[in-house]
Amino acid sequence: MPKVIEEARVLSHAYPISGVDILTIEAPMIARGALPGQFVQITVPAGGGFLRRPLGIAEVSRDKGWIRLIYRQVGRGTASLAAANTRETVSVLGPLGHGFNTSFRHPLLVGGGMGLTPLLFFAAEHRRTSILMGGRTKEELFWEKIYQPYVRACFVTTDDGSYGNTGVVTTLLPELLQRGDYDSIAVCGPSVMMERVAAIAAQHDIPCEVSLERRMACGLGACLSCAVNTKSGRRKVCKDGPVFSAAEVYDNVS
């Protein structure tokens, strides 16, 4: 679908934990064409800065014409957006970027932190995935209830052992791959985690895609602020990604 700019009405905010906003906005054209792994560039209310903020699409309703964005408030812009009044409008550019390959029979989604946002869209669209999610504490895994209606199985790890398995996602991942029937992996989260997940996937001969995060100014591939080195040369995360084959991004994966 060609990218569009919509004046989107704020429908609702929800705050599952301090500093995280679940924002639902009315954007029917973007909702109809968006694919899992794509993102939008959104303006913030006055006082929040001039540049649009890139936010991954978490869910859509193609029939009702809304999109849902889940993000952490990390600065003036996102805090301003989280405080926007219901029925206020924001300008949204999208859908942007290259998304996930959703053609596999039983993908395993692996996410940590706010990297669980684009994977939620994947799960909601596919309905035959399983999810392995990690967080520092039980509080950070509010995601589990959101994912449950969409996935076959949900596996949880916490750094402090307060919920699920003690450790990080890569502690549990090899065991899941040995006993499961997964035919692909999609991962989003901290860079170190994604690289390690990609290496484990390669050891099990399972194709893996990663969703990269970089600072973006334009979201259209013009400013080059999000360029990264890959095995095929310099690529733009906003236009050529944010989803890439792990084999293209990491030297230790072939």
- In this predicted structure, the answer to whether residue 49 has a pLDDT above a threshold of 90 is no
Give residue 34's identity as a one-letter amino acid code: A
pLDDT attached to residue 230:
83
Q: What is the pTM of this model?
A: 0.94
Average pLDDT, the chain: 92
- In this predicted structure, the answer to whether residue 221 has a pLDDT above a threshold of 90 is no
Rounded to 10 deg, the angle between the 191-203 and 169-179 helix axes is 20
